[in-house]
């Protein structure tokens, strides 16, 4: 019997009012139906927003350390259910099981981090210029927050947003990608079991451009956070600007690894393989460009293509698999289009470049790991986000040239440098214009205790995750309080 996943509104799992459903499938084998899922309409969203609003005054008044205890319990439940959830991630999203486990681990990390944040949530206390008066700032929640999340990290990304929003005292409505609704429901189930009060977390399903957009522009929503494509993010930016509504955006990336001629080449190769083909290239932090010094270019390209060609493509639950499927047909076709464009632009296709559909692979959309050499920085495959297992290798002669290749793109999420020369890494660390810079490591693998966010078109300047400037700053607003206990009217800037 097929599982049924329903909306979660005001603390109960309920069918969508119109009783419509859609299907979530395993991308490695479309015959494997994960579940039938409630297709929410506008009226369901209205109910979810109303439930969030109603719960809000109780939730914001619950002391933050108590909210943190609920998140701590959620962390413990995630630990207990890690293997089961990871298998769900792999089955519904396609990434290999070790990465499915990583996806859940990232949610565990952020749950523990945000649980601890319940005992910090710092404001400031500063001296007043006047006697018998004190000055402090405190954090308050934004209110009811809409969260719209993608399929590529189906547990971790909803968790980043949910746990940060919740610890600050917001009530939320989550609208996950229609490709991974089952994972989102499993995460919400964990929060319910951890004791989140009714109405504080609500879950609805449906297409982003209909249900997601309606939710984010809903008159009774106070703020919104979105991770997904640039096109959708920019549309939301326009819509929410006129509503004066805070919006956190994480959008695309076109991340580069720079390999200097003095680099440990073996390490750089491993980093390029991991960053380029991990998660089948479906990460916003994927390394889709490797910029290699001309002195080691030929050698690097040959070894890189050879290794890529040896990677095993298949279902993520198979232990031998390195690369899982693309999330769905339309994404697969988009990637094949880019491969065609690269060839037409004159890049050299060294390996891959085609769909694999022999045997069991015919039941999903699999693409062989693809490497292009002789790519120039102006080619579309070097400038546009592909979100698939396609890596372009570009050569450079001077450090300034390499810096320019990274900094002149509209994207600015992550970048990486492989070099053993401390002066070179220090200079690049200063000059590279991306939200995250890695040294002697790949472009992926950000940890939760520091902000995660892209510059320029990759984000809106409201990063996810922890640390100063991280998600707590987005999900709370500062209130400043001046308390005068002098018993007389004191005038700042006037009285001396």
Task: Return the SS3 of 11.
Answer: coil
Bridge partner residues of 460 (DSSP): none
Residue 463 CB, nearest approach to ligand UN1 (Å): 12
Neighbour tally for 81: CB within 10 Å: 18
Residue 278 CB, nearest approach to ligand UN1 (Å): 8
Q: What is the CA radius of gyration of the chain?
A: 24
Task: Return the SS3 of 69.
Answer: helix
Residue 300: φ, ψ to 5°: -65, -50
Instruction: Classify burial at 488, counting beta carbons within 10 Å of its beta carbon; exposed 0-12, middle 13-18, buried 19 or more.
Output: exposed
Catalytically annotated residue among 92, 183, 213, 284: 284
444 near ligand UN1 (CB under 6 A): yes
Neighbour tally for 199: CB within 10 Å: 20
460 near ligand UN1 (CB under 6 A): no
Tokens of residue 217, six digits: 């522009």
Q: With respect to ligand UN1, which residue has the nearer C-beta, 51 or 386?
A: 386
- For ligand UN1, which stretch binds (CB under 6 A), given 39-47, 234-242, 256-264, 444-452? 444-452
Query: Site for ligand UN1 (CB under 6 A): how many residues?
Result: 9
Residue 158 CB, nearest approach to ligand UN1 (Å): 12
152 near ligand UN1 (CB under 6 A): yes
Please select the residue that binds ligand UN1; options are 284, 291, 315, 326, rule is CB under 6 A.
284
Please select the residue that binds ligand UN1; options are 7, 47, 225, 285, rule is CB under 6 A.
285
Task: Return the SS3 of 292.
Answer: strand
> Can 284 be counted among the known catalytic residues?
yes
Residue 152 CB, nearest approach to ligand UN1 (Å): 5
Neighbour tally for 266: CB within 10 Å: 9
6 near ligand UN1 (CB under 6 A): no
283 near ligand UN1 (CB under 6 A): yes
Q: With respect to ligand UN1, which residue has the nearer C-beta, 285 or 370?
A: 285
106 near ligand UN1 (CB under 6 A): yes
Q: With respect to ligand UN1, which residue has the nearer C-beta, 11 or 445?
A: 445
Report the candidate in 299, 275, 303, 302 with the shortest Cα–Cα distance to residue 289: 275
Please select the residue that binds ligand UN1; options are 59, 112, 153, 226, rule is CB under 6 A.
153
Q: Where are the alpha helices (H) located in 295-398, listed in sequence order?
A: 297-309, 329-344, 380-383
Measured CA distances, 373 to 3, 87, 182, 358, 407 (Å):
46, 36, 39, 27, 21
151 near ligand UN1 (CB under 6 A): no
Catalytically annotated residue among 92, 99, 117, 250: 250
Question: What is the binding site for ligand UN1 (CB under 6 A)?
Answer: 106, 152-153, 283-285, 444-446
Q: Would you name the residues annotated as active-site residues?
A: 250, 284
């Amino acid at each position: 019997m097929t599982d049924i996943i329903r909306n979660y509104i005001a603390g109960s799992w309920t069918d969508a009012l119109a009783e419509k459903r859609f299907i979530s499938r395993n991308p490695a084998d479309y015959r494997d139906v994960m579940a039938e899922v409630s297709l929410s309409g506008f009226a369901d969203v209205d109910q979810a927003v109303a439930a969030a609003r109603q719960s809000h005054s109780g939730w914001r008044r619950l002391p933050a350390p108590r909210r943190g205890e609920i998140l701590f319990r959620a962390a413990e439940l995630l630990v207990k259910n890690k293997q089961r959830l990871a298998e769900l991630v792999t089955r519904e999203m396609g990434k290999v099981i070790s990465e499915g486990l990583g996806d859940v681990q990232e949610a565990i990390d952020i749950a523990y981090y945000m649980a601890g944040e319940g005992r910090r949530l710092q404001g400031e206390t500063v001296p007043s210029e006047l006697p018998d008066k004190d000055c402090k700032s405190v954090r308050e929640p934004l209110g009811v927050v809409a969260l719209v999340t993608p399929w590529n990290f189906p547990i971790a990304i909803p968790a980043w947003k949910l746990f940060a929003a919740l610890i600050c005292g917001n009530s939320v409505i989550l609208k996950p990608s229609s490709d991974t609704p089952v994972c989102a429901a499993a995460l919400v189930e964990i929060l319910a079991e951890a004791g989140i009060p009714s109405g504080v977390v609500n879950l609805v399903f449906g297409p982003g451009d209909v249900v997601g957009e309606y939710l984010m522009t809903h008159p009774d929503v106070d703020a919104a956070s979105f991770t997904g494509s640039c096109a959708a993010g920019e549309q939301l930016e326009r819509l929410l600007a006129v509503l004066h509504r805070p919006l956190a955006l994480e959008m695309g990336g076109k991340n580069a690894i720079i390999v200097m001629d003095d680099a440990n080449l073996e390490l750089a190769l491993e980093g390029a393989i991991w960053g380029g083909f991990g998660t089948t290239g479906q990460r916003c932090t994927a390394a889709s460009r490797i910029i290699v010094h001309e002195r080691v270019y030929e050698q690097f390209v040959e070894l890189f293509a050879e290794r890529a060609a040896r990677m095993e493509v298949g279902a993520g639950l198979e232990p031998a698999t390195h690369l899982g499927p693309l999330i769905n047909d339309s994404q697969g076709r988009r990637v094949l289009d880019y491969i065609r464009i690269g060839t037409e632009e004159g890049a050299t296709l060294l390996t891959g470049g085609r769909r694999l559909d022999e045997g069991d692979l015919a039941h999903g959309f699999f693409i062989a790991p693809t490497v292009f050499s002789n790519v120039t920085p102006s080619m579309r495959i070097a400038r546009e986000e592909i979100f698939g297992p396609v890596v372009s290798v570009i050569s450079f002669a001077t450090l300034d040239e390499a810096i320019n290749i990274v900094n002149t793109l509209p994207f600015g999420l992550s970048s990486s440098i492989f070099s053993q020369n401390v002066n070179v890494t220090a200079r690049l660390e200063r000059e590279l214009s991306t939200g995250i810079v890695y040294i002697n490591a790949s472009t992926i693998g950000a940890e939760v205790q520091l902000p995660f966010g892209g510059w320029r078109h990759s984000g809106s300047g409201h990063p996810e995750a922890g640390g100063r400037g991280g998600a707590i700053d987005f999900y709370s607003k500062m209130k400043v309080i001046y308390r005068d206990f002098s018993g007389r009217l004191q005038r700042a800037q006037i009285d001396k």
